[in-house]
Every structure is written in C-alpha cells, then in structure tokens.
C-alpha cells in the first residue's frame, strides 16, 4: 500500500510540477545550483603592528592612547577596504603601511628615529606570497614612503635589496619625488636621541638600560590575505635611535623582518633586529609550519617565546596564514597591533 501511495505521489509531482513550470532541470544542473548556494564567500583578513616594547598603561596618557588606537584603526580599515572590494593583498599591505608611515606616532616614515649623526635612515621590505618575489630598501634618507620604493624594487628591478644613494637613484627612475630630510624631523624623536647621547656622555648608559633597549622599537608592518587566496607581507622602519655606521636591522631583510608564502603564512616582525636576523624569525615561523606541521600560533610562539629570548633578543610578530588564522605574538610588555579577521571583526590592542 505504501509503495502505491509513494508512486502516486511521484506521478502527481511530475505532472503537477510540469504544469506549474514547463522548464525541466537535469540532475547536473540541480547539483550545480546546490553547490553554488553552499559555496562560502572567499576568506580575506588583515593584521598590523606598530612596534613592540615596554609599552605600559601607566606611562600612557589617555589622549596619546586614543591617538594610537585611532591611527591603528584608520590603517587597518584602509587595507581592509581594498581587500573587501577584491583588491590584491600587495596593494592592501602597501596602503595600510602608508598610513602608519605618514604618522609621527610610529618609527617609520614621518616618525623615523634619529641616527647618532642626527639624520634619519629608513628601511622597508615587501613580499608576495604567490610568487615569493620580494623587494627591499635600506638606509634611504629622502623617500617619504619607503614601502612604496620596496614594492618598485620588487616589481621593476632584477634585484631584491637596494641601499642608500643607489636606492634613491632607482627611485628617481621610477618617478619618485625625493623629499628634503627635514620632512622626517619630529621634536620628540630628536629629544630621544639627545637623552641617549647624554647618557653615553655621562657613561651611565648600558645595554640593559630600559631607555636604550626601547630605542629600537616602533617598526610598522602588515600582513594581508586577499579573496584570491594570496598572502603579502610588508615592514617599514626608521631603525634604532642613535644607530651608527649605516646600521641596518631586520626590517629590510627577507626572511628576518618580512616573509610571505601562500603555502604557509605571511609574517612581519618588530624588535631587536640583530637577533631577528640571526634567528631568521619570519621565515622560521613559515618553516615550522611547512616542515613540522605546526599551526601558525604554535610556530609564532615557538620562535618569539623560546628561540629569540634564548639568543637574548625581544620583540614580536604579526602573522596570517592561508586560512585566515591570525597570530600576534610578542615577549615585551606591549605591542601596538590590530586586525580585522575573516568574520569582519575589528580588534585594536596595545598592552599585554
């Protein structure tokens, strides 16, 4: 009886539906429609840092904290808007970093720290996780946005890293306007240099001096995952206050300050550059994921909480993997940081 009723119902549906809608669909068409309906939106996300160090709530005025939070949010939303419209991760990284470079709050671009000779020497790098292509500049003194020049080195030269006058000659061939070094002058950065020099003159400075230690922080960086699944990472810095002899840290060194690989993750570092170079921090996080099967968070913690401190260094990283997972790992009291994740949720943080 049940079989007869079922058969009758199917006959009714067949002829009844045909009367309602003459269009017939094949099995493949129905399956395609279901697949499209269930298809998830492409994942995209963005994470940034503005430097790590002894950043304590008790040392921060409410107005200054609000200024940092506002600028971090402005930067992260700038890059996210590009990704949201389907733009490439490389563009999102560059434009996000531009916002931070143009702010005197951070040790990059406009807010770059001073060398011992009272000049500003800037470094930057960028990497494309789809191709493993990369570009970097070091020791430039007339480039308003060094991350843009790093991008030009990657896209329009056969090289990876250009330095000093040569980098600026290349910049002019690419249509860059060189700015007067006075553009980078900020009073608070200049006074920071004077305080360190005074300590040196009085022989009261030591490597462990907290003021000296934190003179190297403030680097900015960004990692982005776009809708096409491509990861890009970039880093920009003014380096270390009171640096001499054209010292170059980890920021323009691919594998130390910046790394991106679509198969694993993208990383931007901030910290004591000499140790981040020795530890190859950015690449090491990627390698731990690729060769040992660690998650992004596990790899970042392994390098920042174990490897770097064992060598004697400190600092942090922001990182993003191909699934949109985010890591913001640091072993200092604070790190300026922000992200907008794959769910569109915004986070801005400063302290531990």
Catalytic residues: 219
Tokens of 139: 């020791």
CA distances from 251 to 32, 126, 335 (A): 47, 10, 16
> Could you please report the per-residue DSSP string of 140-196?
ESS-S-HHHHHHHHHHHSS-SEEEHHHHHHHHHHTTPPPPPGGGG--HHHHHHHHHH
- Residue 277 dihedral angles phi and psi, to the nearest 5°: -70, -50
CB of 267 closer than 8 Å to CB of 233:
yes
Residue 326, Cβ density class (10 Å: 0-12 exposed, 13-18 middle, ≥19 buried): buried
Q: Which residues contact 349 (CB under 8 A, 6 or more apart)?
A: 328, 335, 336, 337, 338
CA distances to 50, 79, 335 from 106, rounded to whole Å, are 6, 18, 12
CB 204 within 8 A of CB 78: no
The two three-digit tokens of residue 66, written as one number: 């609000």
Residue written as tokens 């430039």?
140
What's phi and psi for 240, nearest 5 deg? -110, 130
Q: Are strands 134-140 and 122-128 parallel, antiparallel or unpaired?
A: antiparallel
Say which DSSP state 326 is in: E
Torsion of CA 160, 277, 184, 191, to 10 degrees: -170
Q: What is the chain's length?
A: 352
């Amino acid at each position: 009886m049940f079989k007869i009723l079922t058969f009758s119902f199917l006959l009714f549906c067949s002829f009844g539906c045909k009367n309602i809608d003459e269009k017939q669909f094949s099995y493949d068409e129905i399956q395609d429609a279901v697949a499209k309906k269930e298809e998830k939106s492409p994942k995209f996300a963005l994470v940034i840092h503005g430097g790590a160090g002894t950043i304590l709530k008790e040392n921060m005025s409410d107005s200054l904290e609000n200024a940092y939070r506002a600028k971090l949010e402005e930067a992260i939303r700038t890059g996210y808007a590009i990704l949201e419209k389907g733009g490439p991760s490389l563009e999102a990284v560059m434009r996000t970093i531009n916002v931070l470079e143009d702010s005197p709050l951070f040790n990059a671009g406009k807010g770059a720290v001073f060398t011992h000779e009272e000049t500003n020497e800037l470094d930057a790098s960028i990497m494309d996780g789809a191709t493993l292509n990369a570009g970097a500049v070091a020791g430039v003194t007339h480039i308003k946005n060094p991350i843009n020049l790093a991008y030009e080195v990657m896209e329009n030269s056969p090289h990876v890293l250009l330095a000093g006058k040569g980098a600026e000659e290349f910049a002019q061939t690419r249509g860059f306007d060189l700015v007067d070094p006075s553009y980078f002058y900020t009073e608070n950065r200049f006074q920071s240099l004077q305080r360190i020099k005074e300590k040196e003159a009085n022989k009261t400075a030591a490597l462990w001096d907290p003021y000296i230690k934190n003179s190297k922080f403030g680097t900015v960086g960004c990692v982005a995952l776009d809708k096409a699944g491509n990861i890009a990472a970039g880093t920009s810095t003014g380096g270390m206050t009171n640096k001499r002899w054209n010292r170059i840290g980890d920021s323009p060194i691919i594998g130390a300050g910046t790394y991106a690989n679509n198969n694993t993750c993208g990383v931007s570092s901030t910290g004591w550059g000499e140790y981040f170079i020795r530890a190859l921090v950015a690449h090491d996080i990627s390698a731990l994921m690729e060769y040992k099967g660690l998650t992004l968070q596990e790899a970042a913690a392994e390098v920042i909480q174990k490897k770097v401190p064992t060598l004697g260094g400190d600092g942090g990283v922001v990182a993003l993997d191909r699934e949109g997972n985010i890591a913001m790992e640091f072993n200092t009291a604070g790190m300026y940081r922000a992200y907008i994740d794959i769910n569109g949720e915004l986070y801005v943080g400063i302290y531990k």
